[in-house]
Structure 1
């Protein structure tokens, strides 16, 4: 499973002393983009220059435990098949000390000439899942 590590940014702490819920998806996005580049070899910025737009279409996020200042985060990312052939799911978790604080599923696609598709590198990785 692909993993990135972060420490909670103090600027993300709200008046209650916990990470504002707005920031959870950012930690996941940074990890998802790194996964695309490091694990799949897809540089989405370079791909955009070639007319390919990678987009999150929807996501569901479940909070289990609040993140606090000083927490060291382990953010994971793994591919999952979507029921539609031109979409892919990214299942992600934020863990602190082995405890899952949140999990989410991001549904994404790549638009090429306005048509949704799954890039070859993603399709190959999905095929390895079985």
Structure 2
């Protein structure tokens, strides 16, 4: 389940060094991931929140390889992975790519929790999609 969206660096995200501030890379990845979750997984975050289901991040790792600059056009990819241990977790491997070169790579891990509190779980519709996803290997940031 590969997914890709196109973006252009917002000039407001450029720091004093003339490169995109590191805080904004995860924001572009979040935008792509949320579109993936809605468009591919069929899970509308806002609608589900109103129904008492929160999809939340539990962790992420990110590796910066190259810097983006003002007005750079780039793509963000998103690929779903199942949890190797079978736990109620979703893993999203994401890359920021420009001109065929990976600029940044990351893995975001999430789950669902009841809005009223309780243990992490995956809704049945999500479980079915994750069942066909490849399992996340230990070393993912290559």
Equivalent residues, number:
130
* Aligned residues of 2:82 and 2:131 also touching (Cα < 8 A): no
Structure-to-structure mapping, 1:35-50, within 5 angstroms = 35-50=36-51
> Is residue 121 of structure 1 aligned with residue 122 of structure 2?
no
Q: Following superposition of structure 1 onto structure 2, how do residues 43-82 of structure 1 map, counting pairs within 5 Å?
A: 43-82=44-83
Q: Which runs of 5+ in 2 are unaligned?
A: 135-142
Unaligned runs of 5+ residues in structure 1 are none
In the TM superposition, residue 119 of structure 1 has moved relative to its aligned partner by 2.5
Cα root mean square deviation, aligned = 1.2
Q: Does 1:15 align with 2:16?
A: yes
- Greater share of helix: 1
Q: What is residue 101 of structure 1 aligned with on the other side?
A: 103
TM-score, normalising length from structure 1? 0.94
Shift of 1:118: 1.6
**Which whole-Å CA distance do the structure 1 matches of 2:39 and 2:132 have between them?**
17
Q: Is it true that 1:85 corresponds to 2:87 in the alignment?
A: yes
Task: Give the TM-score, by structure 2 length.
Answer: 0.87
Shift of 1:90: 0.6
Cα distance between partner residues in 1 of 2:3 and 2:124: 19
What is the deviation of 1:27? 0.2
Q: What is the alpha-carbon distance in structure 1 between the residues aligned to residue 86 and residue 113 of structure 2?
A: 14
